[in-house]
Amino acid sequence: MEEKKAWKKFLIQTLVLTAALMTTVAVLVVWIDPFFHYHGPVAGISYILDNERYQNDGIVRNFKYDALITGTSVTENFRTSLADELFGVTSIKAAYAGGYYKEIGDGERTALESNPDLRLVIRSMDTFFAMSDADYRNPEAADPSFLTDSDPFNDDAYIYNADVLFEYVNAELIRTAKGIPGDSFDSYMRFAEDRPLGAAYVLKYIDEGTPAEEFRGLTDEERDMLTENIRANLTANIAAYPNVEFYYFIPPYCIADWYGNHIVTGDLPAYIETMKILTEEVLKYDNAHVFCFYDDTDLVTNLDNYSDLQHYSGEVSDMILECMASGEHELTLDMYEDYYDMIEEFYMNYDYSQMYR
């Protein structure tokens, strides 16, 4: 009998201790909330910003801002401090490396729905990701639906997660105690200082190859898929929020990308047509702007500006923001077709052997 009582007491104590421990963990995670699932940042806490697909949803829902920078990895080097200065806003950055139009469009829509103060969106329109089904998402990217859905009963995957507790909550408390400042949106996912630039690093991503003998445009099927994707994941948001200004830009991939992915493959006319359709669809709306930088041939042909075929330096990222703020390289409905015809003429006839000199 005494032994039975001892086991009962032990069981009760174990359950109480377990409940207390679980409650403590839950309170800590919900209070600090490193992924901002329940609320914005707590004043004085040194937050770590380094996990865009787990943190972006909470950021766009719960931070205070009136401007959003979003897009693929080509926007990760943008400095929100510069955007704030140039546009007179308070901005956040929520990039999705390798993100297709669906994922980025959904994140943009969440920001628009969650924040009535939002008045400016800056977003990349990557041509590489444009030619896909409207519902396609990158299968290699994390998809933490327990954070992005509205089901409170699956939050245990966040609250009782060892990585969240030790790599974020514990680390942030230690940083706070040491007086280490929290991460900023300028540094959030920024890699500009970590990747070397130049031909030696860029040209390894392409084979020298030879130009295609024949060049092709878009097929009817490709044209329809592209248009559906644009309307579902770009212009639907523009149309739904006429009081928000949308600054969309086509990121300037380098000259080696033009050669390896369009001259050698023979799809340069299709590439040009893709940009034309993107531009035309977006510019149907008065609150939308499109910027393209392929006329800046000194930029595109200088491989010292690039770390690979698509990613450019921090200085180029700053330049893109500055140009958008001043209206440089902006396209309009009455000139965009002539612009792209000029671009096609230049890149079709460029002497690509200069890349190897």
Q: What is the pLDDT of residues 214-223, one digit of tens each?
A: 999 999 999 9
Q: What is the mean pLDDT of the chain?
A: 95
Which pLDDT score, from 0 to 100, does residue 209 have?
A: 84
Which residues have a Cβ under 8 Å from the Cβ of 48 and sit 6 or more positions away? 34, 168, 171, 172, 175, 182, 183
- pLDDT average, residue stretch 86-91: 98
Find, among 41, 71, 73, 75, the residue nearest to 55 by Cα.
41
Find, among 152, 247, 258, the residue nearest to 205 by Cα.
258
User: Given pLDDT bands bounded at 50, 70 and 90, which one contains residue 357?
Assistant: confident
Which pLDDT score, from 0 to 100, does residue 94 have?
A: 98
- pLDDT average, residue stretch 32-41: 98
Residue-wise pLDDT tens digits, 48-86: 999 999 999 999 999 999 999 999 999 999 999 999 999
Domain 33-356: CATH superfamily is SGNH hydrolase (3.40.50.1110)
Distances (CA, A) of 238 to 21, 110, 191, 282, 285: 47, 13, 30, 8, 7
Q: Which helix (H) or strand (E) holds 289?
A: strand 288-292
b/e 103-125 (16+ beta carbons within 10 angstroms → b): bbbbbbbbbbeebeebbbbbbbb
- pLDDT average, residue stretch 186-200: 97
% of the chain surpassing 90 pLDDT = 89
User: Given pLDDT bands bounded at 50, 70 and 90, which one contains residue 11?
Assistant: low
- pLDDT average, residue stretch 117-145: 96
Cβ atoms of 131 and 119 closer than 8 Å: no
Please provide the size of the chain in residues.
Answer: 357
- pLDDT average, residue stretch 28-35: 97
Which pLDDT score, from 0 to 100, does residue 67 have?
A: 98
- pLDDT average, residue stretch 282-288: 98
Residue-wise pLDDT tens digits, 146-172: 899 888 888 999 999 999 999 999 999
Residue 234 has pLDDT above 70, yes or no: yes
- pLDDT average, residue stretch 211-234: 97
DSSP letter at 306 equals: B
Global pTM value: 0.95
Taking the C-alpha atoms of residue 118 and residue 64, their distance in angstroms, rounded to an integer, is 9
All structural domains of the chain with their residue ranges: 1-31, 33-356
Residue 314 has pLDDT above 80, yes or no: yes
Which pLDDT score, from 0 to 100, does residue 149 have?
A: 87
Which pLDDT score, from 0 to 100, does residue 1 have?
A: 58
Residue 13 has pLDDT above 70, yes or no: no
- pLDDT average, residue stretch 232-245: 98
Which pLDDT score, from 0 to 100, does residue 171 have?
A: 97
Residue-wise pLDDT tens digits, 290-313: 999 999 999 999 999 999 999 999
